[in-house]
């Protein structure tokens, strides 16, 4: 028996060593990529893209070059093609990746990071216009790359939806059903569970009327916590569904749930995912359990009364009671986002703003430097970028 056990033990050691070796090799490769590729992994396409864009500018009557990023290399293409053709360029930031931290940058040498920041300064300074999603995001860039931007060249185009908004349809049933779709791994729901426990303990008859359905990836932890807290009768989880299936679930739900990112994520305050704008289009009440972030700002702007502070269990409980009261009274439609206010986020409004940026027309919603505060988790980051740019 002793001779039979040895190979098994040896095999485990061998497998473990092999796994460690592969992990080290992957890290070496990632490190090499971070040192070699500038400004990002998509950099090999820059030379060919510049040539192609320049040829298009030479052949056709092009008035402006519009670059949307990420990847950030797209912005490099726009500037290089602009310098070759003499045609102005517009930068469109659809993510906060140049402010927030990522794994690729964490492996970069300091000299490369400084070079990238200097190049970003040059990109911003040379642009005809620069588009950001939110005023707060624009303020971050304004502070980090001080002197590179002119307020009159800044345009704000948030994420949004294509019209029209669906009409609110009353959904019958014995319970008020709230739907959450998407991943959960980086979202905070601990205080929501605490509020549900309080509701079930203090007002069990009310709690029996509430059901929360979570659909998407990363639901195992939630299901386990719900079971541990005795909330399995109120919370149901399901794996990922197709877009058509999710759309059907939204039409059958009484309300839609949106959560905020974990506070450990730098730049979480700038988050307002595409899902939120799909929720606006659905025309349903939206329950927001949120920190002070852009998602909360959007919901407040469209008149949502069912927004709770993620750090206040009492506030979350209040919102749940309000939802159940309106459901019981069959007046849920009164909690739906204001349709006129939602127009700020429709595709038609965004297209109009983009046309202003491309045609050098004044922005309808002017950016005012200093009117917003740099989010707490990004202040050190913004200051670090500013220091890097000091000669």
User: Is 262 in the same domain as 290?
Assistant: yes
Helix residue ranges per DSSP H, the chain: 2-36, 46-59, 73-85, 103-106, 110-126, 135-144, 190-202, 204-207, 220-228, 243-252, 274-282, 294-301, 313-328, 339-342, 347-358, 379-388
Q: What is the pLDDT confidence band of residue 346, given thresholds at 50, 70 and 90?
A: very high
For residue 87, give Cα distances in angstroms to 219, 360, 361: 50, 13, 17
**Residue 11 clears pLDDT 60, i.e. is over it:** no
Q: Is 4 among the domain residues? A: no
Q: How many other C-beta atoms can be found within 10 angstroms of the C-beta atom of residue 87?
A: 19
Same domain? 224 vs 335: yes
Please tell me whether residues 252 and 148 are part of one structural domain.
Answer: no
Residues 330 and 181 in one domain: yes
* Co-location of 145 and 76 in the same domain: yes
In a domain? residue 36: no
How many whole angstroms separate alpha carbon 179 and alpha carbon 171? 13
Host domain of residue 278: 176-345
Q: Give pLDDT, residue 22.
A: 76
Domain identity same for 335 and 227:
yes
The 89-93 sheet, strands edge to edge: 65-69, 89-93, 129-132, 154-156
User: How large is the average pLDDT for residues 151-161?
Assistant: 94
pLDDT of residue 187: 94
Q: Are residues 239 and 93 in the same domain?
A: no
Q: Which helix (H) or strand (E) holds 235?
A: strand 235-238
Same domain, 246 and 265: yes
User: Is residue 5 over pLDDT 50?
Assistant: no
Long-range contacts of 40-49 (CB under 8 A, 24+ apart): 40/70, 40/71, 40/72, 40/73, 40/104, 41/71, 41/104, 42/71, 42/73, 42/74, 43/73, 43/76, 45/73, 45/77, 46/73, 46/76, 46/77, 46/80, 49/74, 49/77, 49/81
Specify if 372 maps to a domain.
yes
Does residue 85 lie within any of the structural domains?
yes
Beta-ladder partners of 68: 92
- pLDDT value at residue 106: 73
| Stretch 72-81: mean pLDDT | 93
Cβ 62 vs Cβ 86: under 8 Å: no
> 48: buried, middle or exposed (CB in 10 Å: 19+, 13-18, 0-12)?
exposed
Return the higher-pLDDT residue of 95 and 337. Answer: 337
Decide if pLDDT at 366 tops 70.
Answer: yes
Of 25-39, 191-205, 276-290, 344-358, least confident by mean pLDDT is: 25-39
Q: Does residue 88 fall inside a structural domain?
A: yes
* 54 domain-assigned: yes
CA distance 290 to 261: 8
Residue 196 covered by a domain = yes
Number of domains, the chain: 2
Residues 184 and 196 in one domain: yes
Dihedrals phi, psi of 219, to nearest 5 degrees: -95, -10
- Between the alpha carbon of residue 367 and those of residues 68, 130, 245, the distances in Å are 20, 11, 40
Considering only residues 238 and 170, tell me which one the structure prediction assigns the higher pLDDT.
238
Residue 358 shares a structural domain with residue 325: no
Tell me whether the omega of the peptide bond preceding residue 39 falls within 30 degrees of 0, making it cis: yes
The CATH code of the domain that includes 267 is: 3.40.50.2000
| For range 142-153, the mean pLDDT | 96
Q: Considering the chain, what is the average pLDDT of its residues?
A: 89
Same domain for 314 and 192: yes
Tell me: do 192 and 323 sit in the same domain: yes
Q: What is the pTM of this model?
A: 0.84
Residue 8 CA from chain centroid, whole number: 47
């Amino acid at each position: 028996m002793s001779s039979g056990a040895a190979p098994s033990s040896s095999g485990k050691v061998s497998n473990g060593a092999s796994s460690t070796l592969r992990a080290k090799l992957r890290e070496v490769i990632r490190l090499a990529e971070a040192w070699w590729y500038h400004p990002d992994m998509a950099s090999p396409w820059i030379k060919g893209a510049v040539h192609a864009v320049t040829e298009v500018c030479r052949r056709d009557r092009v008035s402006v070059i519009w670059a949307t990023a990420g990847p950030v290399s797209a912005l490099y293409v726009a500037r290089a093609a602009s310098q070759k053709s003499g045609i102005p360029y517009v930068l469109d930031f659809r993510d906060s990746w140049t402010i927030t931290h990522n794994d690729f940058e964490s492996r970069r040498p300091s000299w490369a990071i400084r070079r990238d920041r200097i190049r970003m300064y040059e990109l911003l300074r040379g642009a005809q216009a620069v588009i950001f999603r939110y005023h707060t995001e624009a303020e971050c860039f304004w502070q980090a790359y001080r002197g590179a931007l002119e307020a009159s060249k800044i345009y704000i185009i948030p994420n949004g939806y294509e019209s029209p908004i669906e009409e609110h349809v009353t959904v019958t049933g014995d319970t008020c059903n709230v739907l959450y779709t998407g991943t959960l791994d980086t979202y905070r729901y601990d205080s929501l569970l605490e509020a549900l426990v309080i509701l079930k303990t203090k007002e069990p008859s009310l709690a029996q009327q509430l059901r929360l359905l979570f659909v998407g990836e990363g639901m195992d932890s939630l299901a386990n916590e719900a079971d541990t807290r005795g909330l399995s009768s109120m919370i149901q989880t399901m794996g990922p569904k197709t877009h058509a299936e999710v759309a059907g679930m939204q039409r059958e739900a009484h309300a839609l749930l949106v959560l905020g990112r974990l506070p450990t994520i730098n730049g979480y305050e700038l988050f307002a995912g595409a899902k939120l704008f799909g929720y606006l289009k659905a025309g349903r009440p939206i329950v927001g359990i949120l920190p002070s972030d852009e998602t909360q700002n959007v919901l407040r702007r469209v008149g949502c009364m069912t927004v709770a502070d993620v750090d206040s269990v009492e506030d979350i409980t209040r919102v749940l009671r309000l939802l159940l009261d309106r459901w019981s009274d069959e007046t849920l439609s009164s909690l739906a986002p204001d349709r006129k206010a939602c127009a700020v986020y429709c595709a038609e409004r965004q297209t109009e703003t983009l046309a202003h940026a491309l045609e050098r027309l004044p922005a309808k919603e002017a950016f005012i430097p200093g009117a917003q505060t740099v989010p707490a988790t990004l202040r050190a980051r913004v200051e670090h970028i500013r220091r890097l740019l000091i000669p």
